Amino acid sequence: MKRVREAVFDPRLAPYVFLAPFLAIFIVFRLWPTIEAIVISFQKWEGTESQAWVGVSNYVATLANPRFGKALNNTVLYTLGTLLILIPIPLILAALLDSGRVVKQTSFRVALFLPALTSLVVVSVVFRIVLARDGLLNVALDGVGLPTNRYLEVANLAVPSMIIMAAWRWTGVNILYFSAAIVNVPRELYEAAAIDGANAWQIFRNVTVPMIRPTILFVVVLSVIAGFQLFVEPLLLWSGGNTPGDGGLSIALLVYKTAFTAFNFGQAAAMGMILAVIILVASVIQFRFFGGGRSER
């Protein structure tokens, strides 16, 4: 009995006891489904029929599928568009809020963060109204004499429409990330730069940005992963994800349609594996070339 008690309360077992719940959830809901998806990607399976091994045929069919190429192009454009908006604009706004020149900074941060708390279903319905042919955006543009557009009806405007929605929804979140990093920058660096005659832009470029570089990399990686996982926005912004001319079709949406509309689970799994590899490669490239995890010397 004593040995059992000693074994149970052994400090060397404590880490494994605390890790056990996470490991169990990770294995059941992450690792095992991933292994199953890899196996299915090499099989022909339509859900009701028996599974048959087809080798790399699903991958060959995916790469030869013109809709996959269109979806990949849309996804890349959406990701690049969100990066161009959701990195520099929140960064500048965070620096401005930290500068002390804005009255009631907390109120601004809360107001900008509120869109992220809104249900994506509600957001999609609202933006269907805003971006409609006779919607609020076109009414506002027409009121000031600017040309109007059919944002939800033209293939070339599908990706910009989703970028507009993403910018409204996630700008406040990225501001919080950058603000948390900026407040930890030593004030002495700003004072020294001001004494040396640096203006606000020079201080921002040469002090703030280098000091919060790890946070910028973190936000960029999150934005890239979220961009390549684009799914809910086109599914809800257009009924059933039926975007005009596949102009808003994303890889994740194509995976969903291939699996649950065409019931080609093997090819859908292959698409998912290709998407996972793309995200992995993009993340590794960012960490490799932008200095993730390396200390400045």
pLDDT at 293: 47
The hierarchical CATH code for the domain 58-289 is 1.10.3720.10
Tell me the two tokens of residue 176: 């919080």
Q: Please, which residues have CB within 8 angstroms of residue 149's CB and are 6 or more apart in sequence?
A: 138, 141, 157
CA distance linking residue 166 with residue 184, whole number of Å: 28
One pLDDT digit (tens) per residue for the chain, 297 residues: 566 566 556 677 777 778 889 999 999 998 999 999 999 999 998 777 678 899 999 999 999 999 999 999 999 999 999 999 999 999 999 998 888 777 777 788 888 888 888 888 888 889 999 998 888 889 999 999 888 888 999 999 999 999 999 999 999 999 999 999 999 999 899 889 888 888 888 999 999 999 999 999 999 999 999 999 999 999 989 988 899 999 999 999 999 999 998 889 999 999 999 999 999 998 888 888 776 444 444
Supply the DSSP symbol for 293: T
Q: Which residues contact 53 (CB under 8 A, 6 or more apart)?
A: 42, 43, 44
State how far the Cα of 103 lies from the Cα of 96, in Å rounded to an integer. 11
The structural domains of the chain, with segments of one domain joined by +, span 1-40, 58-289
Strands 43-44 and 52-53: antiparallel
In terms of Cβ atoms closer than 10 Å to its own Cβ (0-12, 13-18, 19+), residue 250 is: buried
Give the C-alpha separation, 206 to 136, whole Å: 41
How distant is the alpha carbon of residue 71 from its chain centre? 16
Residue with tokens 């269109």: 70
pLDDT of residue 286: 83
Query: Are 152 and 145 within 8 A, CB to CB?
Result: no
Residue 297 is predicted with a pLDDT of: 40
The pLDDT assigned to 291 comes to 61
